[in-house]
Structure 1
């Protein structure tokens, strides 16, 4: 099967919505409400917001990832925070997640970004296994959330 990985732009809103519905299914988001299209278009127009889609030869979205570029103030570069990555359950275990990660790696190399990172919830053994298998180096940190 032929699969392509591409960065989405505002012209790709339907593909982004497909990715959001994949997230909804994979992350079991029971009360998910799709944001307004104008909001999603603003996100897709933001250069510091990355959406990569895995599509088959017919253009069907099979999976995707979302990430944020975080400019550094220590040096003239940035890091990328991989926020979400998911593959349609019917398409899993075929290497698409690895292809998406490689697409993000390519993006970082093309933009002189030396690293990207992702968080996995402790106990999410499937995600941890995937990130270990794809070359991720685990770091022990404690994440704090604050209500605004």
Structure 2
């Protein structure tokens, strides 16, 4: 039979072994992440059209209009997916954020005396005003 001290030592050893295994797993994950960084950096240089649509809040056709006008630059294609250069997208967003939108003034329709209403009004004014 084991005493309490020996049971406690066995529990501590098993915890230590578990921690050692976890440390090794964390180190493996860190090396995988550091090796994957160049691929993520390349992906960060170009954004798929779908993500650009979400960022700009517009449709696919508007994105391609911006590409044709030169406001956005096309990135490298990945398979069949069209990509947008991230720097050009950031520049476009900065330009949009910088320009304060001018308030739109509502245009009032011109007042015109046309139709019967105008002739009735003129007849009433003739009766009221002395000639």
Of structures 1 and 2, the one scoring higher in RCO (CA 8 A, sep 6+) is 1
- TM-score normalised according to structure 1 size: 0.24
Q: Would you tell me which structure has more strand in proportion to its own residues? A: 1
* Structure with the bigger percentage of helix: 2
Structure number with bigger Rg:
2
